[in-house]
Chain A
Amino acid sequence: MNNKKFKYDKHQIFTMIFSLLAVIAFFLPFSSGVSATSLDGKHSFQIFDIIGFVFQPDKLAAGAGSTFYLSFVISALLLVLLFFLAIVIFVQTLLQGKVGIRRALAVVFFVGILFAGMSFNSTLTEVAKTGNNLYEVYPEFKIALKTTTGSVNNWVRKIDNLVEEADEVFAEYENKDEIVVTLQSLSEEANGIDYSASDATKKKYNQYIFESMEELIEIEDQEAIFTSYFKNMCKSVSNISNVYGIGFLLLMLLGLLLTGSTYTEKELTGFRNTGISVRYMYIGVMALVFFGTLLLPIVTVPGTSQIATGFNTLTFISVLLAFGKLTNFDDLASGLGLTLTGEVSSALIMVGILFMVISLGLMIAFFYTNIKQKKFITRRILGIATAVCYILGFILANSALKTTGISVTSNLYMLLGIVLAAATLPFTAMMDKERYKAFSIINILIFIIISAFILVPLWKVIVDSLDASAGYGMKLWPAKFDLEGYRTVLTYPTIVKPFLVSVLTTVAGTALGLILSTLGAYVLVQFDMPGRNFFANILLFTLIFQAGMIPVYLNLQNLGILNTLWAVILPMSINVYNLVLMRNFFEGIPSSLIESAQIDGCSPMGIFVRIVLPLSKAALASIGLMFAVAFWNDYTTFKLYVMDTNLYNFQMKLRAMIFSSDLPNNNSISENTLQNAAIMVAIIPFMIIYPFCQKYFVKGVNVGAVKE
């Protein structure tokens, strides 16, 4: 009962020792991996190279011979399995499972991690050996080969990159063209080689690299150039051992915290009573953090990911850990291959790192208070503070890093911060209520993923439309904020006119459509009216049998409105679905109201205008919106029945802009930005009104199907 005086029993102590050992074990493969592949002590092996190797057996065979491929794959798989095993162990510990089982699992884990480490190490050493002969001859080429095996795992691709980069890198050099030509021929030859054919091709490859290098070496000063070039390449500071290792360390810390908090009988009972949700929540959060740190570095800016892999959050932390050994920050920076510009950047980065470390501390505090079921408000404040600190630190460090010339690709870490922040809110709220089970948490995670699936494409459009640099994969916000795209779309006559046509048809069509629908619907609810059923059937028959493309075309031609805006507005404004929908709404009006008005001597028109319409505001909004959406989004009708390019609406114009690159001549802006801005202009009107009108849309759907 006394919280302060609990004793650890032996299996708990074992759990802690195991945790520590596992941390050390987990770092082993990476530290040995570093020695096997690093070229200058800075560049370490990356976990994604494993993924790359697993999917590219031929490339690996080219490096180290095909016999090593198997051991490589096995060790990679083992590592993945071990991760899941770690989770199992944690679950077991948390649920206070049998000691024997936990112990056995821990031993398996420990042995497995050692085996994976050795296996990786030997494989990688073999890969690295390939270039050894060359090292002896050309020191700078040693660097080239080392880098290739270590970080790109694809020689051909690396050389291709070299060709691409050559222009930039050798800009100052007088023999630039020669180098480019040599590299290009190198690339062409490399592409022609069949790598699956083991030793013979390897020899051939080495041979031609030799020859090419001999050509190159005649060029003066090449050593200096190559040194600086590869120095650039080695800017890759985001090494996975940090990400993986620290993510794992976090797990361990949490594990210790959790085991530590369950020891008194009271607490143990309390912990169990809080429901399984608490425990699963932690596993959920841990998994989120872990997978987040593991997976996010993959999505870096293409092209730069191989040359200068982005900075990531955990690198900051590792920087900080190393900080104690260094006397000034510039040393640290140069040790990491960074070129900092001035005091400001250094200071900013430091402040940023500080914030992130604080956020890490806050996060741990947040977990702890949740376990201990501290006051709700404390927990929530901690949750929010964690997120705020994370984001703040991030922005600071990120903006400072931009000045170093490294492509900062860590936007996705920002996303992780936001997801974590968003995740903390429901979690804290949940803790107080027993009925929330693991299912709820998984459920919420599922919907966060679904929402992301919906929003990511839209977000990309928004970001690209505001970004003058445009292009690359996924960015969280514009790299170079610029409204030029929107200005162009909204000022160029060829784009503004279609926009106005859209506005015109939408307004006119919606008005006309509403008039026709209300009139028709009101008549349809006069059940005593002679001929009412006949009218209803006339309308309903059109739902069963419709005229096709060509008959409608000929009809519009005969009516003389083909190729005018009337061809869109008039036919679309009579919509039987919407009319029936309106009828369903009208049926909901209590007949007693209408009857009493009749008794008071009100005319049918009077009743329609004074009673039915005012009572149907929601229906009018709902159906009006449906018409508006249909007219605004209309593409087919224009495509089929309006050929005059002067009368195109915005959807037609947008289609031409995206698929035919029919863009205004504006050199100050990239094509991509302009296209995305045009898409945004097409959806903004409804994006703005939609949140306010959602209930009307939903009502329309329900009334349509339920009462039809």
Chain B
Amino acid sequence: MKEEKKLAVVNNKPLKARIFQYRWFYVMFLPVLIFILLFNYLPMIGYRYAFYEYKSALSIKWVGLDNFVRLLSTEAFWSAFINTLQLSIVKLLMNTGMAVIISLLLNEIKNLTFKKVTQTIIYLPHFMSWVVTASVFALILSISESGLVNNLLLNLGLINDGEQIYFLGTKATWRLSYYIINIWKDTGWGTILFLATLSGINPEIYEAATIDGASRFSSMRYITLPALSNTIITVLILNLAKIMNLFESVFVLINDNVIDVAQVLQTYTYDITFAAAPDFGFSTAVGLFRSLVACVLVLGCNYASKKVRNRGIV
């Protein structure tokens, strides 16, 4: 985090006096510190089990890097790793792209009431939990008679009775469904930042451009889009840092039929942890690997962010 030191009164008092002056602030920070230590730092000790074989509390034995060696040769792990990258990156690009397009179009709407109502509607799904989202779409995409999409296809004559597509249970359609559900849920919310940037553009620039004979689309191309580019990069970087955290959205939509295309690192960890004969050592190693990759990503994005916008993300 980049700290802009406030140009307040320069404090020249000796350290002890300053500590005394701020004594109440230390008391105020104490609960935060305790919570952070208890729930964020203390658990990290648990990572030591990544170097143990831990099949039950009674048999814990040191195996060094064996878990990691095993990890790198496990096919399911690599599949999960690649799925994590693919799902989150495609999702990120689709959501951001859609959000940019929607923001640009929404920015062109001059009727404020219509704009506000639209914004209210498109932000709405963000507040649904993933469980609710998954439930709603499981019902809509189902093959039963209440499945809206299949009924539509049926009535259009695109499929026959009995050929209903089980969208969330078929490998070929799961990812597409997943991306569309994500667009439904989060694209609207993603427009907030872009809209804020757009409202910050000086309208005089547009007026000048119009006087110079610029069409709506060339204004959009040469004024709006460049103004937005910085925000787009920011959003991409902020979200790229989080791609390893992909969990709940997949977890609520995954099922045994689509493991190959849907399993991500977090769900994989969950599965092997709650498997019939779990090896917590191995699961922890997967978790540690994930955290390390995430760590590298965050630091990389932070570096990129500093380069691009002179400001880190953490």
Q: Please give, as numbers and ranges, the residues of chain A lying within 8 Å of B134 by CB-CB distance.
A: 655, 658
Asked if B314 lies at the interface with its beta carbon under 8 angstroms from chain A, I say yes
Contacts of B294 in A (CB 8 A): 545-546
Question: For the complex, what is the distance from the CA of A77 to the CA of B15, rounded to whole Å?
Answer: 85
- Chain B 39-57 interface 0/1 with A at a Cβ cutoff of 8 Å (1 = within): 1111111110100000000
Contact A635 B111 (CB under 8 A): no
Known: A450-B122, A454-B121, A527-B3. A604 touches B129 (CB 8 A): no
Known contacts A302-B151, A516-B32, A686-B127, A655 near B252 by CB under 8 Å: yes
Measured between beta carbons, the chain A residues less than 8 angstroms from B42 are: 555, 558-559
A526 / chain B contacts, CB cutoff of 8 Å = 22, 25
Does A543 lie within 8 Å of B314, measured CB to CB?
yes
Within 8 Å of chain B (Cβ to Cβ): is A426? yes
Tell me which of B105, B109, B287 contacts A551 (CB under 8 A): B287
Binds A, one of B5-13, B65-73, B88-96, B171-179: B5-13
A523 touches B152 (CB 8 A): no
Q: Are the C-beta atoms of B44 and A551 separated by less than 8 Å?
A: yes
Q: Which one of B1, B28, B39, B156 contacts A51 once the chains associate, using CB atoms below 8 Å?
A: B156
Contact between A443 and B118, CB atoms less than 8 A apart: no
Docked-complex contact A543 and B298, CB < 8 angstroms: yes
Contact B8 A682 (CB under 8 A): no
Contacts of A530 in B (CB 8 A): 15, 18-19, 22
Q: B158 at interface (Cβ–Cβ under 8 A)?
A: yes
**B9: nearest chain-A partner, CB-CB:** A595
Q: Is the CB of A702 within 8 A of B122?
A: no
A484 within 8 A of B: no
Determine whether the beta carbon of A552 is less than 8 Å from that of B46. Answer: yes
A355: Cβ under 8 A from any B Cβ = no
1/0 per residue B129-144: CB within 8 Å of A? 1111011111110001
- What 1/0 flags go to A454-478 for Cβ under 8 Å of B? 1111101100100000111110000
A87 at the interface (CB under 8 A from B): no
Q: Which residues in B have their C-beta under 8 angstroms from that of A603?
A: 24
> In whole Å, how far is B206's beta carbon from the nearest beta carbon of chain A?
12
Total A-B contacts with CB atoms under 8 angstroms apart: 311
Q: Is the CB of B138 within 8 A of A548?
A: no
Q: Is the CB of B35 within 8 A of A573?
A: yes
List residues of chain B with CB within 8 A of the CB of A160.
Answer: 161
Contact for A550 among B26, B188, B283, CB less than 8 A? B283
Contact B135 A551 (CB under 8 A): no
Task: Name which residue of chain A comes closest to B140, CB basis.
Answer: A457
A461-B136 in contact given A451-B121, A548-B291, A554-B43 (Cβ < 8 Å): yes
- Which one of A55, A535, A538, A633 contacts B158 once the chains associate, using CB atoms below 8 Å? A55
Interface flag for B160 (CB, 8 Å) = yes
* Contact across chains for B146 and A464 when beta carbons are under 8 A apart: yes
The residue from B139, B147, B299 contacting A676, defined by CB atoms under 8 A apart:
B139
Once A298-B155, A654-B132 are accepted as A-B contacts, the answer to whether A527 and B6 lie under 8 Å apart by CB is yes
The reply to whether the CB of B273 lies closer than 8 angstroms to some CB of chain A is yes
Chain A, Cβ-Cβ closest to B190: A701
Chain A residues with Cβ below 8 Å from B22 are: 526, 528-530, 604
Please tell me if the beta carbons of B299 and A574 are within 8 angstroms of each other in the complex. no
User: Is A447 part of the binding interface, using a Cβ–Cβ cutoff of 8 Å?
Assistant: yes
Known: A302-B155, A550-B49, A552-B39. 13 other contacts (CB 8 A): A435-B110, A443-B109, A451-B118, A461-B136, A470-B146, A473-B155, A516-B35, A539-B32, A548-B47, A550-B284, A559-B42, A635-B252, A672-B146
The contact sample of 8 A-B pairs, CB cut-off 8 A, is A440-B108, A447-B105, A473-B151, A544-B299, A550-B46, A633-B127, A654-B135, A679-B135
Interface residues of A (CB under 8 A from B): 48, 51-52, 55-56, 153-154, 157, 160, 298-300, 302-303, 305, 426, 429, 435-437, 439-440, 443-444, 446-447, 450-451, 453-458, 460-461, 464, 470-474, 515-516, 519-520, 522-523, 526-531, 533, 535-536, 538-540, 542-555, 558-559, 570-571, 573-574, 576, 579-580, 591, 595, 603-605, 608, 629, 632-636, 639-640, 651-652, 654-655, 658-659, 672, 675-676, 679, 682-683, 686-687, 690-691, 694, 697-698, 701-702, 705-706, 708
Report B's interface with A, CB cutoff 8 A: 1, 3, 5-6, 8-9, 11, 15, 18-19, 22, 24-26, 28-29, 31-33, 35-36, 38-47, 49, 102, 105-106, 108-111, 114, 117-125, 127-132, 134-140, 144-148, 151-152, 154-158, 160-161, 184, 188-189, 192-193, 196, 216, 234-235, 238, 247-248, 251-252, 266, 269-270, 273, 280, 283-284, 287-288, 290-291, 294-295, 298-299, 311, 313-314
5 cross-chain pairs, A with B, having the tightest CB-CB distances, nearest first: A551-B46, A548-B287, A633-B129, A52-B157, A547-B43
